[in-house]
Structure 1
């Protein structure tokens, strides 16, 4: 047992004083006890403590594309034109380059306050016709990158079998993604059986346009009653909604709800374009929602109905997705700010009489929803959860001089985005910076990926 003592910690949805945190031999919280004087053998933490959050939706390889699609030479630029440019990267990144890119990303996610990431992984196969020694070489590259920097990882092998509704298969520029339900389930089982520290797995379906009804039914049968997360992109774009209506007579969320398969294991990523009856149906199913406001803004997706999802109590998590933002502070900030801009109101996420702080309501939702998205029964500063924590710096810009009760509000709405002095994973404080070799490997991979003549344009 190892004992830590925090002057202030976020326990039970509020700041509590003099919190004794006990870490067991497996790196989990054995005890979380507010109102306890510091024992002589306890390590004193130098600032207030928050739980780390789960990044519930990530495409790690897209970190190599950040900043490279922010120009428009002619015509209209939208999600679909961005996707075509992004494929220039997807079609050539190697396992070694992926590990380098993911290592840099995962170090940045840790600095951004995430201590676990859900990797929505569909780069399965060789890029240039070469053979992999193991069909999971790309997945193992991601696992290796996470272990290089100390981040927890939930790998989600993706079922991806077609380019759109009614299509017979994938486009030539999607050949790396091909995976049916049996392939994804086999990959999930192998990853879970490997027993890598802080690495687990679930499964995913790319989308209703990327996986057929037969694929979904097959994966549902394979998973059976196994308690693991099932993720899917859904209703991100209006064109996707229109195509689904034309092909099935139903909107994407309507179709999923009517299928009878949604349950608390399911995580609906984006759900940007949802109607009230769809939100109600999702709420009845117990499925969760993953919003990625940084990416959704960057790609011009639109704004989710945050008040509607909150009103119906749908579990909510946040993710970094395309990696244009890599910290949960900015995701929560823009989750609220998008609503303020659209509705011309303030503190939209707050619940007067229950939780008057927008930051606290969104943060607590992300703690609970992130746990489910990553496949954990417990998360946060609670017994049984992995001993992950963020130790705040009271002298950081935006926090200095503030009363205790305003600290979380200031973290989300007044700080520069990472006002912590240390990040803990599994009861261990990680180095403030990743090993130098991680950054050097990333720079080398970027030189290889974006040499002259290999632009994303």
Structure 2
């Protein structure tokens, strides 16, 4: 595996300023940061004549352990016809999970992400407890470090089983924590952070955390400059239950009513059934909306009502199929089919790449560190093989990105690197 730290690299093509350019050299520091980008950099150059480089993909929403349900989709079976029945299988998966098994599940998922060009993952983590409180959090961190992926551990609060419940049910005991204990643990977790492992926070959903818990955690996130994530309106039942509870509001209305001030530090995940009027409010407040097209199709969730004002990012969520190019494609295709048009949300190849890179970084609080090839950013990259069968006839700079996003797959990824260190090589 190559190590480009302390070196100058020159790919055949590199994605700079929203276009592919040739003849560009990148000087990488000893700690994997881009020091200089220029056509004229003196020194020995590592030439990469077969590669086109783009910034590494940034996965803003993952549940790594869900991947172990692969092969058990139940699609087409009457007894598996809803999201809620799938959720029962997920509960069973972690019912008796050990630290080592959980770590291996996560590591396998993270390694597969690297092979798909994902260099940063936001792991929305709520399976906290084995024998000791919160010990499974360290299993996720160790798994990411061993896989070589950049991790934002989205530490997730989960306190109750439903809107009118006081606590969790027996299947959710490994998830459960109260807000005071949770915040105290966040301060301990902070000691595990480094240049490739950082923290964000989440309330699992308005269903699983009461409004006081959401408000307290939002205040903590705001005061400590942490990104805040929450599942929102993925399923009609969630909305119906919220309206039928004492709140008498939709979950999105509840968030907008109780979280103040709403800022770009907030990421709402799915928004499958969020009304356009509420999405408009999120857009005006620069809120990130994380869409997970392959999971939303896999689980039969639905298609959100998006437009070109939304601040979108992408996640692999249940990880049944890990292919970020497909996530980009299906974000576009679903909107095209929903509206019977081919120019929905202005989702061309350039915008899709921004959604898959910089927008993901913004959602995870990493926009100053990753998501672009700029001086001062980490050298996290995906290299595509220009001589591959799918790309060799379409490698002109003005065609290549469109060919990659709408025509290529993981097979065309030749190499992947994090902080200048190659983590995958074809």
Normalising by the residue count of structure 1, what TM-score does the alignment of the two structures yield? 0.86
CA deviations 1:248-295 (Å, max 9, x no partner) are: 222211221222342111111111112221011112222111110000
Deviation of the 1:188 alpha carbon? 3.0
2:88 equivalent to 1:96 = no
Task: Please give the secondary structure, in 1, of the residue aligned with 2:164.
Answer: coil
2:313 equivalent to 1:320 = no
> Hey, what does 1:409 align to over in structure 2?
402
2:344 equivalent to 1:358 = no
2:4 equivalent to 1:14 = no
Task: Please give the secondary structure, in 2, of the residue aligned with 1:430.
Answer: strand
2:32 equivalent to 1:42 = no
Q: Which runs of 4+ in 1 moved over 4 A?
A: 37-40
> Hey, what does 1:299 align to over in structure 2?
299
**Of 370, 388, 393, the match for 1:396:** 388
8 Å contact kept, 1:45–1:391: no
Supply the distance in 1 between the matched residues of 2:23 and 2:97 (Cα, whole angstroms): 49
2:23 equivalent to 1:25 = no
> Hey, what does 2:233 align to over in structure 1?
235
> Hey, what does 1:201 align to over in structure 2?
199
Distance 1:371 1:239, change over 3 A: same
Deviation of the 1:73 alpha carbon? 4.7
Structure 2 counterparts to residues 222-261 of structure 1, below 5 A: 222-247=220-245, 248-259=247-258, 260-261=260-261
8 Å contact kept, 2:19–2:397: no
**Of 76, 87, 107, the match for 2:91:** 87
CA deviations 1:343-370 (Å, max 9, x no partner) are: 22224243xxxxxx71211111232221
Task: Please give the secondary structure, in 1, of the residue aligned with 2:23.
Answer: strand
> Hey, what does 2:3 align to over in structure 1?
none
**Of 324, 329, 333, the match for 1:333:** 329
CA deviations 1:152-210 (Å, max 9, x no partner) are: 10111111111111111111111111022233333333233224451111111000000
Supply the distance in 2 between the matched residues of 1:330 and 1:223 (Cα, whole angstroms): 32
Q: Which moved more, 1:56-65 or 1:358-367?
A: 358-367
CA deviations 1:25-59 (Å, max 9, x no partner) are: 321112233xx157451211231110001111111
8 Å contact kept, 2:80–2:86: no
> Hey, what does 1:189 align to over in structure 2?
187
8 Å contact kept, 1:330–1:417: no
Structure 2 counterparts to residues 126-205 of structure 1, below 5 A: 126=130, 131-132=131-132, 135-205=133-203
List gaps (5 residues or longer) in structure 2: 1-5
List gaps (5 residues or longer) in structure 1: 351-356, 434-457
Normalising by the residue count of structure 2, what TM-score does the alignment of the two structures yield? 0.93
Supply the distance in 2 between the matched residues of 1:330 and 1:155 (Cα, whole angstroms): 24
Aligned residues: 415
Supply the distance in 2 between the matched residues of 1:190 and 1:242 (Cα, whole angstroms): 37
Q: Which moved more, 1:410-419 or 1:139-148?
A: 410-419
Distance 1:279 1:240, change over 3 A: same
Task: Please give the secondary structure, in 1, of the residue aligned with 2:410.
Answer: coil
**Of 187, 190, 213, the match for 2:211:** 213
8 Å contact kept, 2:361–2:367: yes
Distance 1:287 1:57, change over 3 A: same
